[in-house]
Amino acid sequence: MKDYDIIVIGAGAGGLVVATGAARANKRVLLVEKGKFGGDCTNYGCIPSKTLIAEAKRGNREGALKRVAQVVNQIRSHEDASALAKIGVETRNAAASFISPHEIEVGEERFRGKYFVIATGSSPFIPPIEGLKETPYLTNETIFDLYEVPKRLVILGAGPIGCELAQAFARLGTKVSIIESLSGLLSKEEPEVSEVLKKVFEPLGIAIYLACESHEITHNGNLFQICTIQGELECEHLLVSTGRRPNVESLELEKAGVIFSEKGIPIDSYSRTNQHHIFAIGDVLGGPYFTHLAENHGRTVLTTLLLPGGIKKKIDEKQALPRVTFTDPEVASFGMTQQEAEKTVGVKKIAIYHVPFTDLDRAITADRTEGFLKVITKKWSSQILGATIVGPRAGEMLQELTLAKLQSIPLRKLSRLIHPYPVYSSVIRKAADMWLTQNIIPLFRGKLK
């Protein structure tokens, strides 16, 4: 039985950070991955979907899926077993399961580790709709294996994956329908987001069925029949995009004495499980399911594993976690929504600053006035509680606000920041200026002679 300083289970974004960083620090590292090296982001998630979105924007119907495969293979080549071996990471391409707190089994081999990092990610959640599991449905893990762009595609779920792929395939000529059980698109975002996307999707011919439950799905060998409370739909392909669940089942964590449930693995502020030599990072914790969060967890754990004398680094819970949906326009946000702020802080203690892109010179010149900025702050201090940007490159613009949040810079102080003219991000200065006009100037009205 071989011994290792660190055994990492899962070669996604977080697992790779730990494995490669530890190997470069001359630690004996074993990285175990049961699927394709590169993880969900490279193989099924961000990389293929963003490539498809780019090809759809170019109108490359014939070559879009081929280009997706090329990009995925190019990026995966930097993360395969041979590339990892060059920096000292030993790998196994099989499923791992614990046989004791310090031992795992991989195929017919057994390995012992001083520390473990569980980074097994998540898998698509398949809702319990009658007949669905007996059909050849697609998920984000299989849709990019299609050889041709679908003629008709029904998408179950209007979250980030569902909305991104709906728009991309519609631009490639697919007749797309979205079925969502809740009342809006991207229901975790501000309600205004759904209204913008509906207006953007309508000219593409995307049919949207909101507050719509599916109660039976069948497949006759050629077509899907989806029975909903709003009628029946037919299509050649069905994409299930109804959320994700952490991958915990096959690890046999009970043999390691690790507490877990189907909702994920609980951790402490250092990303340790109840067994303090076993860490867990990323999607396996139970969400939020973001590649950049998994990578951040990985960096935190790597620091702890490399620091001398048992010094540990905590997860930075003050960090504003950005989320971006790469539709066109992009939807970028972090922190509290207005509804959440009203509930937790109080309606009278918050201020809302909303700037439509119809007031933004750069957006007017580019004819991209469908977007907006919405910032939620504490009323008098203008400390930022959350923000939403809908517009081109919203994900990049958001970072000015997340940095302000991290450094406790109030929104009002961003009015001093000089933005080049004309740029989209000057919308943030416009919001910052509103603190003075909405909160201070009204106090002096009628008092000035």
DSSP string, 26-88: T--EEEE-SS-TTHHHHHTSHHHHHHHHHHHHHT-TTTHHHHHHHHHHHHHTTSSHHHHHTTT
Closest CA to 228 of 241, 215, 210: 215
- Count structural domains, the chain: 3
Neighbour-count burial for 337-365, b at 16+ CB within 10 Å, e otherwise = bbeebbeebeeeebbebebbbeebebbee
Residue that is last in its domain, among 284, 310, 336: 310
CATH number at residue 286: 3.50.50.60
Residue 68 placed within a domain:
no
196 and 236 share a domain? yes
- What's the length of the chain? 449
- Residues 230 and 214: their CA atoms lie apart, in Å, by 9
110 and 224 share a domain? no
Closest CA to 241 of 294, 195, 186: 186
In one letter, which amino acid is 82?
Answer: S
234 and 272 share a domain? no
**Quick one: pLDDT at residue 446?**
58
108 and 150 share a domain? no
Closest CA to 10 of 141, 124, 123, 125: 123
Residue that is last in its domain, among 225, 240, 255: 240
Residue 57 placed within a domain:
no
Residue 52 placed within a domain:
no
CB 351 within 8 A of CB 382: yes
Quickly tell me which residue has 């909405």 as its tokens.
438
353 and 254 share a domain? no
Neighbour-count burial for 192-207, b at 16+ CB within 10 Å, e otherwise = bbbebbeebbeeeebe
Q: Residue 432, class by beta-carbon neighbours within 10 Å (0-12 exposed, 13-18 middle, 19+ buried)? A: buried
87 and 147 share a domain? no
Question: How many CB atoms are located within 10 Å of the residue 433 CB?
Answer: 16
9 and 143 share a domain? no
416 and 330 share a domain? yes
CATH number at residue 419: 3.30.390.30
Residue 59 placed within a domain:
no
231 and 290 share a domain? no
Residue 291 placed within a domain:
yes
337 and 440 share a domain? yes
Residue 449 placed within a domain:
no
Residue 408 placed within a domain:
yes
- Residues 431 and 428: their CA atoms lie apart, in Å, by 5
Reading the chain (449 residues) residue by residue, the pLDDT tens digits are 899 999 999 999 999 999 999 999 999 999 999 988 877 777 777 889 999 999 999 999 999 999 999 998 888 777 788 899 999 999 999 999 999 999 999 999 999 999 999 999 999 999 999 999 999 999 999 999 999 999 999 999 999 999 999 999 999 999 999 999 999 999 999 999 999 999 999 999 999 999 999 999 999 989 999 999 999 999 999 999 999 999 999 999 999 999 999 999 999 999 999 999 999 999 999 999 999 999 999 999 999 999 988 899 999 877 889 999 999 999 999 999 999 999 999 999 999 999 999 999 999 999 999 999 999 999 999 999 999 999 999 999 999 999 999 999 999 999 999 999 999 999 999 999 999 888 877 877 655 54
Closest CA to 323 of 134, 117, 161, 206: 161
Residue 46 placed within a domain:
no
- Residues 79 and 209: their CA atoms lie apart, in Å, by 40
**Quick one: pLDDT at residue 420?**
95
CB 192 within 8 A of CB 337: no
CB 151 within 8 A of CB 169: no
* Host domain of residue 210: 132-240
Helix or strand run (H / E) with residue 194:
helix 191-201
In one letter, which amino acid is 405?
Answer: K
Query: pTM for the whole thing?
Result: 0.93
Closest CA to 1 of 103, 118, 116, 115: 103
**Quick one: pLDDT at residue 204?**
97
Q: SS3 breakdown of the chain: % helix, strand, coil, rounded to 5?
A: 35, 25, 40
**Quick one: pLDDT at residue 449?**
47
Count Cα neighbours of 127 within 13 Å in the Cβ-side half-sphere: 18
Say if strands 323-325 and 122-124 run parallel, antiparallel, or are unpaired: unpaired
Residue that is last in its domain, among 183, 207, 240: 240
> Phi then psi for 126, rounded to 5 degrees?
-105, 115
111 and 139 share a domain? no
Closest CA to 244 of 213, 217, 282, 209: 282
> Phi then psi for 239, rounded to 5 degrees?
-105, 125
Contacts 24+ apart (CB under 8 A), 340-348: 340/386, 341/376, 341/385, 341/386, 345/378, 345/385, 348/379
Tokens standing for 159? 């979250």
**Quick one: pLDDT at residue 399?**
96
210 and 265 share a domain? no
